[in-house]
Amino acid sequence: MTVTSAGRPGPSPQELVNRAHELVPVLRSHAERTEQERDVVPENMRALRESGLLRLTVPPRFGGHDLSVRTQVEVLSGIGRGCASTGWIAANHAASTDFALLLSEEGLQEVFGDHPDSVLLSAASPQGTRAHRVDGGLVVNGRFPYASGCRVSDWALLVAVPLIEGGEQVGVVDALVRPEELLIEDTWFMAGLAGTGTHAMTATDVFVPDRRTLVPPRRPDGRYEELLSPTTLVKGNLHSLSALVGAAHGAWDEVRRTLDKGRPIAYSSYENAADSPAVRLWFAEATHLLDTSTLHLYAAADGLDRAPEGKELDRAERARLRMHSVSALECGRRGVQRLLDIAGTSGFARRNPVQRYWRDLETGSRHAMLHHPVILEDYSRALFGLDGISPWH
């Protein structure tokens, strides 16, 4: 059981998971409009706030919940089951909040003190970005091409901005700013996860006070330490994965609903597809694949929960947990493919939510930080004691 900032008992982990599943019909009812408007609609954001599901990683002293990673991914999967784009934004917020906890207490108070449901995003892959020290903080310039939820978020964490001193890069820093301080470009036109509003943002001489900057300690050689631990990044990626696993289960819901209503199989004697042993076998296969996907998701979450607090997982263990993420995605995708076989051509009709879940899953599963070949290669190298191919792995 969590405890609120006022010392009162908060919702139990199971209650939060239940709330996420209770929201599925509401989120699903707005999923088509979310895709059309290319941003999570206000009704879905309001539902997340009112349910307390934006507080998964907010510190309890600010009204947040003290939850295991397992509970966090269960909640985020439930949100993604209703609307993958909404789940992706909730996941990005949970991970971004986790990253931002390195801020000073003054900075955290500004963000969460009076607004525990503030929505954060994190934007990396900066283009031509740079930060310079000035009195009282940093000045940031540059372009961030992918910023999920930039039009519905209260804060934007600019990640891995090169810190320039004397014309030379000496490290990277993070800076928390208001999205309205940045120029948002309407750039996100995608086949899947269109509702995430992952537009580009540009910073031009944006001043960020010290309380909202993350500058790592300086090493003896004059350069700076790394900011985010690889384990924290593995957890953040698991948040995003949760929304995609939820989307796969959302497709299952829709196909099951169609089978329960009764639908004939064209060019056959079956008036109800569920009367066909072959269809029932296919549906059982899809259900097992989605169950397996969830088990891999939970295995990765449990691995993170078993780690001693504050201890960095070794590289081989991180690589092993990331392989569970790969398997979760692969099983989810295979399961949805089988569901589409059952749905038939009508499953691709614009009015049918199954095709949206499919497109969202296929798009999100190809995110750079969930990229299968790179993760598999890194795992193989870890097993044989070879150096990793990415500092974040």
Q: Spell 113-141 as b/e; 16+ CB within 10 A means b.
A: eeebbbbbbbbbebeebbbeeeeebbbbb
Q: What is the pLDDT of residue 159?
A: 92
What is the rounded distance in angstroms from the CA atom of residue 318 to the CA atom of residue 313? Answer: 6
Only one residue has tokens 């169609």, namely: 258
Q: What is the pLDDT of residue 391?
A: 61
Q: What is the pLDDT of residue 392?
A: 57
What is the rounded distance in angstroms from the CA atom of residue 58 to the CA atom of residue 296? Answer: 26
For residues 44, 199, 116 and 78, what is the CA-based torsion angle, rounded to 10 degrees?
A: 40
pLDDT tens for each residue of 301-325: 999 999 888 788 999 999 999 999 9
Q: Which residues of the chain have pLDDT under 70?
A: 1-8, 391-393
Give, in order, the Cα–Cα distances in Å from 48 to each of 118, 195, 259, 288, 386.
Answer: 11, 16, 30, 30, 43
Q: What is the pLDDT of residue 227?
A: 75
Q: What is the pLDDT of residue 108?
A: 97
- Mean pLDDT of all residues belonging to the chain: 94
Q: What is the pLDDT of residue 273?
A: 94
What is the rounded distance in angstroms from the CA atom of residue 324 to the CA atom of residue 308? Answer: 20
Of 323, 331, 326, 303, nearest in space to 69 by CA: 303
Residue 91 contacts residue 148 (beta carbons within 8 Å): no
Query: Please, what is the Cα angle at 245 between 285 and 19, to 5 degrees?
Result: 115
Q: What is the pLDDT of residue 8?
A: 64
Q: What is the pLDDT of residue 332?
A: 98
